[in-house]
Amino acid sequence: MTKSARAQTLLAGALGGLVVLILGAILIATGIIDTGGESSEPIISQSPIVQPAADEDGDGSTVNEIYRRSERGVVFIEARGRAGASTSPFGLPDRGGAASGSGFVISDEGFIVTNAHVVEGSRDVRVRFGEPGEDESIDARIVGADPSTDIAVLKVNMDEDKLRPLPLGDSSKLKVGDPTIAIGNPFGFDQTVTTGIVSALQRQIPAPNNFSIDDVIQTDASVNPGNSGGPLLDAAGRVIGVNSQIATGGAQGSVGIGFAVPVNTVKEVVPQLEEDGKIERPYIGVTTAPVADLARDLNLPADRGALVQDVQPGSPAARARLRAGRTRTEEGILLGGDLIVRVDGRDVGSPEDVAEAIEDNKPGDSIEIEFLRGRGRESADLELAPRPANAGAADPREGLRPPEGDDVLPLP
């Protein structure tokens, strides 16, 4: 046999052996060949939550580990005694005067956070903790509720050693793509866990009183009716939001677009609710729209500010004779209204700036508003009023709601 023939024979033998090895590995992996071990059950390994490259705050815990740490701090809420039809602006049925949702413990004094729309109008609220095998519910007292943020605080009388407060995170540090974990009781299925990511930040959703909630977290973690008031957690198990609403697009359940009130809003609201049971917010009674991207095309007098769209009758803005828009553009913006450029000594670049400047005051305070009308600059003094129970159409931040045709619903 020549050298060339021997080389071809050796090469063929090597390739044949390699094919056998690969085929054998495939057969073993698929269970066709029994290796003789004690069990042919697949081995399942649980990997830590995948962290985004820029996220250094995760602690490497698995979803199961985070759930085990958190389950006793998440509660199932039953609210009864609702009189008459639902007062929700979303037109949901009252289901015989009862509602259910979720909540979570925030202190060893027995304070619990949930959504305001879960307990709204209820006379009897009971909670059930996530103790393994625990079926007994206990009475809870409504300490206070803020419909403008859809946050409510409950109080239970329990031994401190039985309470498991959840740690609160910092929603200002969130980034799109960060992992999220939702724990709650969708459709009454206790302690259900779903996972996802932060899909978007700084969303705006309607509050139960028709005002708007700002800086909302959007997530694709599946949330459904019954999740409302439950915690949205980060990769370290810290609360970053309170699950509140979903966009359904006309479907009957979750389509992967959920909204959570940011935990930093909770931190601001809860101490006031614990102390006073309610929050009085200042109000001027206008709807405004941003102009930064439209000023040149619409020939507006400035490229920054908040363009007045609507002035609520009888409001401080109406008494100060602020002018609403009259002519609607193809973009849906009303032209002809005053362009607010300064509030209480602070420059205004957007509707959010108007809201922030107003909310730094309290009802009864007087503020000065500067605005452009035509090509002239004018000012007016307003005495801030308490925010009404229902906004109607007037809210300084309104105009950034989800597009018409999308159904954005609270999670009852």
Instruction: Show the beta-strand stretches assigned E in 264-375.
Output: 282-283, 286-290, 306-311, 327-328, 334-335, 339-343, 346-347, 366-373
Sequence-distant (≥ 6) Cβ neighbours of residue 47 within 8 angstroms:
62
**Concatenated DSSP letters of 125-182:** EEEEE--TT----EEEEEEEEETTTTEEEEE----GGG--PPPB--GGG--TT-EEEE
Query: Residues near 181 by Cβ (< 8 Å), separated by ≥ 6?
Result: 49, 63, 66, 67, 193, 194, 195, 221, 232, 233, 234, 235, 237
Question: Which one, of 351, 340, 387, lies nearest residue 204 by Cα?
Answer: 351
Phi, psi of 316, rounded to the nearest 5 degrees: -55, -40
- Per annotation, catalytic residue among 228, 244, 315, 350: 228
| Active-site residue, from 55, 100, 102, 117 | 117
Per the annotation, the verdict on 117 as an active-site residue is yes
Query: Is residue 150 annotated as a catalytic residue, yes or no?
Result: yes
Rounded to 5 degrees, φ, ψ at 371 are: -150, 155
Catalytic residue chosen out of the listed positions 70, 100, 146, 150: 150
On the 0-12 / 13-18 / 19+ scale of CB atoms within 10 A, 244 is buried
Count of C-beta atoms within a 10 Å radius of residue 111: 18
The catalytic residue positions are: 117, 150, 228
